[in-house]
Structure 1
Amino acid sequence: MKSGPQSDTAWLAELCLSRIGFALVFTTYSAALPLLKTDWSMSASEAGLVQSAWHVGYLISLFAVGFITDRIGAKQTFLAGGILASASALLFAFFADGFVSGLLLYGLTGLCSGASYTPGLTLVSERFVAYQRGRAMGWFLATSSLGYGVSLILSGFLMPYTGWRGAFIATACGPLAGTFISFWTLRATPNVVHARGEEHIGGFALLSIWRNKPAMLLIWAYVFHSWELLGLWAWLPAYLAVSITHGGNMTVQAAGIGAMLTALTYITGMAGSIYGGALSDRWGRTKVILWGACLSLVCSFTFGWMMALPLWLLVAVAALYNITAIADSSVYSTAITELVPPQYLGAAYALRSLLGFGAGVISPWVFGLVIDWARGEPLRSETMAWGLAWTSLGIGAVLGPLMTLKLRRMPEA
């Protein structure tokens, strides 16, 4: 590990704490979706489109901050992004009041939120050596899951008392706290800018990554992984809320309970990030990716057909789904640092984010389209509608393990 005024453990813990704050705004919409769908008179596809607007903004942000990180350093990018994330979250919380304003302001919030992710991964990569990097990445991403879970618990608790707007205002305070913590944590961390020639800039860097076959196989595997994971995160609270009402009219109480139950599955999913990263340090990156991807595919193809299960059992399956779906996330983030030179790392994260979160933009929208289509057919039940929607996540993710198998056969793996 690299030396510094703080111990590496304390530094990582503080960085993870700031990430929890930034993550609080990521899942509030998912928690409030059943209520917003009614209050804003949205169809399921429109509700999914608002979630997709977040992902559009987020992927643009991640693509941009990759190059910005290479140019001005991960520390400066992380800190500046925190300020923008705080402002945009408050704008949505106070001024979103319908489908159009929600679409635009949630997209803006996503656009301002990317700097807490890939620059954070770069900071971890710079701090830790390779044989400890997987575990450190795992903790960083696990605390993201904790932030998502805390957001859902807080939203689920507040919505019956303050409505959905009160929940958004409360979680918008998270990025503010995260920004203050990150300024303190990184006060003595050097801002590393790798020396670059003309061939390392912009399109030249992207072209180099595109020609790097092992890196591209890993990136494509991540794309299919993102389709599944981001669709899961967008629609799980609504699915559990619908299962509570047995397909009947949605209530504030059902939406709140659905959000809090989803939070439990997110927090449980922390184990997937931590152990996935740690196991990849011991067993190898591609082996852990394959296991995680295949197990989560089984969940995608079966979970939607389980609506009639007892609620406790459905939540247990949802927790398993979250663990398997996120187990390889930290491994993708670690493996890319070992397949590309450091001066290309920002560009590699940028391309990965563009393609991966591009899939995440489409996935929740397609999920909603499938529900609307299935409900429009007289012979299809509510269970069939949700079963087909969850199956769409598996269909989109099925190529991921094939990309990983091809990578596994290469000496770079």
Structure 2
Amino acid sequence: MLPHVVVPSVLAQFLIPEWRLSGAEAGLLAGSYAAGYMLAVPVLATLTDRIDARTILIAGSLLSAAATMMFGVFAQGLWSGAAIWGLAGIGFAGAYMPGLKALTDRLVPGDSSRAVTFYTSAFSFGVGLSFLVSQLVAERWGWRSAFVITAAGPLAMVMVCLFLRPVAPKPASGRLLDFAPVISNRPAMGYVLGYGAHCFELYGIRTWLVAFWTFVAVQNAGSAILSPIAVSVAFSIIAMPASIFGNEMALRFGRHRAIMVIMIASAIVALAIGLSADKSPWILLPLIALYALTVPADSGALTSGMTMAANPDYRGATMAMHSTVGFGLSALGSWGVGMALDVAGGPTSASAWTAAFALLAAGIMLGPLALYWSRPQPKQSS
């Protein structure tokens, strides 16, 4: 996870001014990672139904490391940066869902909800570490060094893979990219579409959080309380216990009900932040802390719900659909927030940030609609 948010980490302070990017262009650059992921994950995750996911995990981690280093050495502007960062996203497509499949293939039979939730919540810890290392290295040695140094992270995953016991997958059945059984699985698709709404919101705020708090710091010179580095790291670290807590609430009160409440609460908090964009950081910081709880709290419950609702013979394909929808909307979230900022006055305008957070609120509200659509249908009496 170490390279995961290097671009968002250095976007506002380094890449936007050096490459003279608009908000939409900056969102496109950051979103190219998720776009590369989206294009590759249908094949790579589905392959885990046919070969040991460990093999794909090793290959994806190696590509992730190589592309991250390439960005630091060769990227010269929007298009070269987007192409290389998209390649890094392809590498991550071989790491994240194949990593989850490698985990679930090695668990004893039974409820995997908590194990899956710990895996997805560790994602947030990795993002926090990525924010921290990226910004500290960039400030000390320049933004290119941040990419070169964080490229070491995926190589550690390769070393871990060498200690995983091999697992023989089940004999392949059907075509490689046969998603018809996944699409017809309405309960699983509800979680997939809900995850898409979650990712739109998550990557929208993750891409632009440093830029937003930079705006807050400039507007309130001398009284910003915390630096953009501290805010971005804290936002990500809070996500780990929040995701675990959200899944526990799903186990206790019902998965659909808990996820829908979390999503509605997140939309309300996003609107509150947007309407308070020009207010004191003493008002905004508690709201950001609350948003750091609501944004990721549905993640573990959505992903574990998907794995349990999936047909065991098509679990890899279901994970592929989950990630394709999720990261496709992640790219749209990064770009969409940038567009909203451009249209409403730019990232130095409070009204632009109001529009950006309103868009995030609208995005997450699509999640409850998806879950409502996928709810179990009452049986008709004859």
Select 1:265's aligned residue among 235, 252, 277: 235
**Which piece of structure 1 moves more, 37-46 or 157-166?**
157-166
Partner of 2:184: 211
The 1-side partners of 2:283 and 2:109 are apart by: 39
Percent identity reads 30
Select 1:153's aligned residue among 119, 124, 132: 132
Are residue 241 (structure 1) and residue 193 (structure 2) matched?
A: no
Distance 1:211 1:381, change over 3 A: same
Partner of 2:297: 327
Structure 1: runs of 5 or more not aligned: 1-22, 249-253
The 1-side partners of 2:28 and 2:245 are apart by: 33
Three-state SS of the structure 1 residue aligned to 2:76 is coil
Distance 1:273 1:192, change over 3 A: farther
Superimposed CA distance per residue, residues 335-374 of structure 1 (whole angstroms, 9 cap, x where no aligned partner): 1222222220111111222222111111211111111111
Are residue 288 (structure 1) and residue 262 (structure 2) matched?
A: no
Three-state SS of the structure 2 residue aligned to 1:308 is coil
Superimposed CA distance per residue, residues 13-41 of structure 1 (whole angstroms, 9 cap, x where no aligned partner): xxxxxxxxxx1111111110112100111
The 2-side partners of 1:321 and 1:397 are apart by: 12
What is the RMSD of the two structures over their aligned residues, measured on CA atoms?
2.3
In 1, are the aligned partners of 2:189 and 2:374 still within 8 Å (CA)?
no
Select 2:200's aligned residue among 217, 222, 227: 227
Partner of 1:375: 345
In 2, are the aligned partners of 1:54 and 1:106 still within 8 Å (CA)?
yes
Are residue 407 (structure 1) and residue 379 (structure 2) matched?
A: no
Partner of 1:11: none
Distance 1:279 1:54, change over 3 A: same
Select 2:15's aligned residue among 19, 23, 36: 36
Distance 1:310 1:235, change over 3 A: same
In 2, are the aligned partners of 1:74 and 1:192 still within 8 Å (CA)?
no
Superimposed CA distance per residue, residues 206-261 of structure 1 (whole angstroms, 9 cap, x where no aligned partner): 0111122222222222222221111111111111111111199xxxxx9x931332
Distance 1:42 1:321, change over 3 A: same
Distance 1:411 1:284, change over 3 A: farther
Q: TM-score when scaled to structure 2? A: 0.91
Are residue 390 (structure 1) and residue 357 (structure 2) matched?
A: yes
Q: TM-score when scaled to structure 1? A: 0.84
Are residue 24 (structure 1) and residue 2 (structure 2) matched?
A: yes
In 2, are the aligned partners of 1:280 and 1:287 still within 8 Å (CA)?
yes
Structure 2: runs of 5 or more not aligned: none
Q: 1:102: how far off?
A: 0.9
The 1-side partners of 2:300 and 2:369 are apart by: 19
Distance 1:158 1:230, change over 3 A: same
Three-state SS of the structure 2 residue aligned to 1:195 is coil
Are residue 122 (structure 1) and residue 101 (structure 2) matched?
A: yes
Q: How many residue pairs end up in the alignment?
A: 375
Distance 1:196 1:71, change over 3 A: closer
Partner of 2:275: 305
Are residue 342 (structure 1) and residue 304 (structure 2) matched?
A: no
Q: 1:410: how far off?
A: 4.0
Partner of 2:146: 167
Select 2:54's aligned residue among 75, 95, 105: 75
